[in-house]
Structure 1
Amino acid sequence: MAATERPAEHGNSALEGTVALVTGASSGIGAATALALAAQGAAVALVARRSDRLQQVAEQIIGRGGRALCVEADVADRSEAFAAVDSVVSHFSRLDTVVNNAGVMLLGPVADAPEGEWERMVAVNQLGCLYVTQRAQPHLVRAAASEPRHVSDIVNISSTAGRVARPGSAVYSMTKAAVVALSESLRQEMQPLRVRVSVVEPGNVATELVHHTREELREGLEAQVGGIERMAPEDIARTICFVVTSPRRVAVNEVLVRAADQTW
């Protein structure tokens, strides 16, 4: 864990005085979201396995007058996920927003999937989300009962794959559909406590996810999306900011964001 911060210089913003935790914050949607939340005034905890990449994101936040905490952790490991949440609350003394973004996409036919791919997707995409959420819940409830906002947020990142399964995406789609189901059940549980639960389902985004796929399958995957102008991670980050900066009377429960050229 590395702490990096300096007094904010951006004045009053929508999330001033709050703390956000973003998993998978070392690149892509997670990094863009961390930067966007910091720009809104939140102190941001960056959680991922690649500490060097986390530090780079933290330096950008600090350079813009924000506050950041780097926490190296694999959220698929229950003890590491719990320790990450504990570290954030210990450092900042509160937790207002959780963005469960960490995920892996290992595509390919079910018939010849290498041992371990399915387990890794289930561990990161499902259990990682669940571990962080479970440990964060009591802190989010306390934050929702206090200043400055009297509301807190959990945002789970799913995918269009959680809605539309395609050849080669069976297990990935399964894990993302599970995130949607978790989010809806949790929304109903947490609503009386002023903890809003939202699920964001991005379509094709220009991130590193495609590089997780086995090399022999990557060319075919690229061909499937080759004619699509992919969204930027910042496009999804703006959506997440809209969700968490909405007035307390508003709960944005589900957002589906497709690339304009995407048909599925």
Structure 2
Amino acid sequence: MGRATALELARLGAAVSLVGRRDTLLADLAAEIEAAGGTSLVVPADITDPRAAPHLVKAAGKDPRRGADLVHIGSLAGRNAFGMSAVYCATKFGVGAFTGALRQELASQHVRVSVVEPGCVETELRFPNPTVVQEQPDACLGDIERLRSQDIADAVGYVVSRPRHVAVGELLIRPTEQVPPTRRPGRTRPRVRESAGTGRGPA
């Protein structure tokens, strides 16, 4: 999703800083952006450095729009918890809370803080997981058409290209056919068998 977003922002005319741990992938992406006429800067780094926020505030003062954007990528799992994904869901709920709090802290300094929350996206990130975790979405969702990285990039491009007075706080995106398993068409609720002679509870 990061790669697709960088390409989309470069297409919109932004000078893009490419930050990540895998140098080779960053260099390849920079070459692709520059071949298309864009501008990029490769910064091999760990993005958890807490010193990033002051740079955003400084950028807001220099931008012709007098604003800057910080867009977090959350997840539908930050709104609905799923079994076998407790830690993942906890982190994504945290992303939503962090975004909301940071938005309040930085709004007066013209930094818009947003979160894009995708449903099921077809990316490479699910493959390093244990087999049981990989199989869970397939069991719940079946063969529906999943979101692509470009769909998320389009959403980020929409968020950051709004007029200065418009802040998109949250943007939830699902595949058209993705619904909770108990609500999928054709599914029925399981029947509870009553205990013989009492009619009061499950057998």
> Normalising by the residue count of structure 2, what TM-score does the alignment of the two structures yield?
0.83
Q: Match of 2:18?
A: 46
Classify the secondary structure of the residue corresponding to 1:212: coil
The change in CA–CA distance for 1:240 and 1:217 in structure 2 (over 3 A counts) is closer
The aligned length equals: 180
Classify the secondary structure of the residue corresponding to 1:228: coil
Classify the secondary structure of the residue corresponding to 1:155: strand
User: Are 1:170 and 2:86 an aligned pair?
Assistant: yes
Tell me how far 1:49 sits from its aligned partner: 1.8
The change in CA–CA distance for 1:139 and 1:217 in structure 2 (over 3 A counts) is closer
Residue pair 2:60, 2:110 contacting (<8 A) in 1 also:
yes
The change in CA–CA distance for 1:221 and 1:147 in structure 2 (over 3 A counts) is closer
Decide which of 203, 209, 212 is 2:125's aligned counterpart. Answer: 209
Q: Match of 1:59?
A: 31
Q: Match of 2:4?
A: 32
Classify the secondary structure of the residue corresponding to 1:180: helix
User: Are 1:248 and 2:133 an aligned pair?
Assistant: no
Gaps of 5+ in 2: 181-203
Q: Distance in 1 between matches of 2:31 and 2:40?
A: 8
What percentage of residue pairs aligned between the two structures are identical? 48
Q: Distance in 2 between matches of 1:202 and 1:57?
A: 23
Gaps of 5+ in 1: 1-28, 76-80, 82-127
Question: What is the identity, as a one-letter code, of the residue corresponding to 1:48?
Answer: G
Tell me how far 1:68 sits from its aligned partner: 1.4
The change in CA–CA distance for 1:217 and 1:163 in structure 2 (over 3 A counts) is closer
Question: What is the identity, as a one-letter code, of the residue corresponding to 1:45?
Answer: S
Matches within 5 A, 1:218-257: 218-257=134-173
Tell me how far 1:212 sits from its aligned partner: 2.5
Q: Distance in 1 between matches of 2:136 and 2:143?
A: 13
Matches within 5 A, 1:42-191: 42-73=14-45, 75=46, 81=47, 128=48, 131=49, 134-191=50-107
Tell me how far 1:225 sits from its aligned partner: 3.2
Q: In the TM superposition, what whole-angstrom CA distance separates every residue of 1:82-113 from its partner, at most 9, and x where no partner exists?
A: xxxxxxxxxxxxxxxxxxxxxxxxxxxxxxxx
